[in-house]
Amino acid sequence: MAFVSKMTIAIHAGSFTGGGERLEYVYVSDSIGLRLAMKTFYEERFPGRSHYVNVRNDPEWAGYLTFLYPNAATIAHYRKDLARIGVIDP
């Protein structure tokens, strides 16, 4: 995020982990040059690791609203976990 934020206004909307991958969802105000800069960043700092950068136009935040935004079942799951470890009351 620090790297991306130096290039453009950026909001970290969330992440998803599954299938051996971690996907970070970041909404930016300007993506010009971002794909190449991110590719170079990962190649220089994490040689030998696989990575990819996928830049998509999503002005209505559909990816966030339909995929990342927690639905009722997800919220209930995390509330149960938080109650189990004593962070919130059951």
**Residue recorded with tokens 């990342």:** 68
DSSP at 50:
-
Nearest residue to 36 (alpha-carbon basis) of 67, 4, 66: 4
Q: Tokens for 26?
A: 């970041």
What are the average pLDDT values for consecutive 10-residue runs of the chain, which has 90 residues? 92 89 91 92 93 90 87 84 83
Q: What one-letter code names the amino acid at 87?
A: V
pLDDT of residue 75: 82
**From CA 69, how far away is CA 65, in angstroms rounded?**
5
